[in-house]
Amino acid sequence: MKTALGFIFVTLLIGLAWPTDKYRVLKSEEMLQMLDAIHEDIKQHYYDPSIHGFDLNGRFAKARNEILGSRSEGEGLLDIAAAVESVDDSHTHFRPPTRPYGVDYGWIMEPIGESSCFVIAVRPDTDAFAKGLKPGDKVLSINGIALTRQNVRFIEYAYHVVPQSGFHLSVQSPAGVPRNLVAMATVIPGQSIIRHSDVMMWLRTHYQQGDRSQYYHQEGVLFWKLPDFLIEPGEVDDLVNKTHSFKTVVLDLRANRGGFEGALEKFIGGFFDHDTEIGDVKARDGSKPWIVHSRKQKAFSGNLIVLVDSSTGSAAEIFSRVVQIEKRGIVVGDRTMGAVMQGKMFMHAVQLDRTNLAQYGVEVSTAELIMRDGKILEKVGVMPDGRTLPTPDDLVLGRDPVLARAAELAGVRISADEASKIFPLRWPKERMPEID
């Protein structure tokens, strides 16, 4: 995978031409400055000083030469991203400067099972929909790169580092008919320079505060869709208190990429009636046990069923695995991402002119988690107790057999068709940065 990253990133970049940039483009010397700062952050803060024996210095020296020979800002940023991704760690990533435009691709793909990636949703008002892309289509390749469960996250990351105006797609329908199409993105123009104050204002204005969960209940069972763990720890108890009048909770963590460590601890404390040892946290300065305190009699004591899929990551994976180790409930769905590390963000800035900066950063894994059973979830994920996968036909017809199976385990009769209507997909209403 490490040797293929450069090819993947550059191939994605040249897949389709991007409109001429109308904003301040970073120069090679500025990108070299970024590369050097990120290199130093990884060397100083990565939890394993040896970087698992990987030649970090050599890889970043190679990136310097690539940046000097790059033909565009986008190619240079991908050179930086490829160097960082070569560490091959789920929580070590380059965070490029905010782009002064937003990009809406209008469709979502998801690995299902061990090898294949499928379109799971297409919004009707998009070029992808007009070109005939449909849920249930198997994505064979993007810009000529064959898709697998192992590389799809790298590819998604690459086209967020340098957004694309569209993709050359090779897909296959559930009936087995392959076809090629070009799905263009919608570009949301912004201003010529993005300042830190602009980003903070956007977040305050557009980030939805409060409880973003979805709920449904039937026959004493609470179905709870938790989108992430980006919740202030002090608010978690109020959320968990909503479970107390139910005999069973079906906690849907599908597509939950994780969030705050403090929120995770509060959730574990709210579902376990005893203090729980998650495992050992291994950092540069040694290892220490990670123990979470229970809410005791205030914790939910009923039955627990957790739903996961290939987009369940980080804190959501830890919660699911603790449920299994402690025999607290049942985990249903697909194998999770295997993206379980503790990361910290290090921010920097490049001076664009006398008054403006381009902020960038790198997230670095500062600790590894060894679960209480002695196993590591990184690159492995959580295998459900009952692996239940949607078929391509389920995707075409909009059925949700995973939630239906969870309902069955909870003693509630809900068909896969009915289950799909319980937690409808929420397309984002705003796409950062949409700044006037």
Tell me if 271 is assigned to some domain. Answer: yes
Report the pLDDT value the prediction gives residue 39, as an integer from 0 to 100: 98
213-271 residue pLDDT tens: 999 999 999 999 999 999 999 999 999 999 999 999 999 999 999 999 999 999 999 99
Tell me if 170 is assigned to some domain. Answer: yes
> What phi, psi does 377 have (nearest 5°)?
-90, -20
Tell me if 348 is assigned to some domain. Answer: no
Which runs of E-coded beta strand occur in 106-232?
A: 107-112, 116-122, 138-142, 145-146, 166-172, 178-184, 186-189, 214-218, 221-225
Same structural domain, 307 and 388: yes
Same structural domain, 373 and 293: yes
Same structural domain, 150 and 54: no
DSSP H helices, 207-260, are 233-241
Tell me if 324 is assigned to some domain. Answer: yes
Does residue 196 surpass a pLDDT of 80?
Answer: no
Q: What is the mean pLDDT of residues 389-415?
A: 97
Same structural domain, 150 and 266: no
pLDDT band at 1 (very low <50, low <70, confident <90, very high): very low
Cα–Cα distance, 416 to 396 (Å, whole number): 13
Q: What is the mean pLDDT of the chain?
A: 88
48-94 residue pLDDT tens: 999 999 999 999 999 999 999 999 898 999 999 999 999 999 999 99
Domain with 53, as residue range(s), is 5-88
**Total structural domains within the chain:** 3
In the chain, DSSP finds a helix count (H) and a strand count (E) of 13, 19
Tell me if 414 is assigned to some domain. Answer: yes
Cα–Cα distance, 138 to 172 (Å, whole number): 5
Cα–Cα distance, 105 to 125 (Å, whole number): 11
**Token pair listed for 401:** 């057999």
SS3 category, 64: helix
Same structural domain, 111 and 77: no
Q: What CATH number does the domain containing 115 carry?
A: 2.30.42.10
Tell me if 361 is assigned to some domain. Answer: no
144-171 residue pLDDT tens: 999 988 888 888 888 888 888 889 999 9
pLDDT band at 426 (very low <50, low <70, confident <90, very high): confident
DSSP string, 385-423: SEE----HHHHHHT--HHHHHHHHHTT----HHHHTTTS
Same structural domain, 60 and 185: no
Same structural domain, 389 and 310: yes
In terms of pTM, does the model score above 0.85? yes
**Token pair listed for 348:** 């920097």
Same structural domain, 243 and 122: no
Tell me if 395 is assigned to some domain. Answer: yes
Q: What CATH number does the domain containing 303 carry?
A: 3.90.226.10
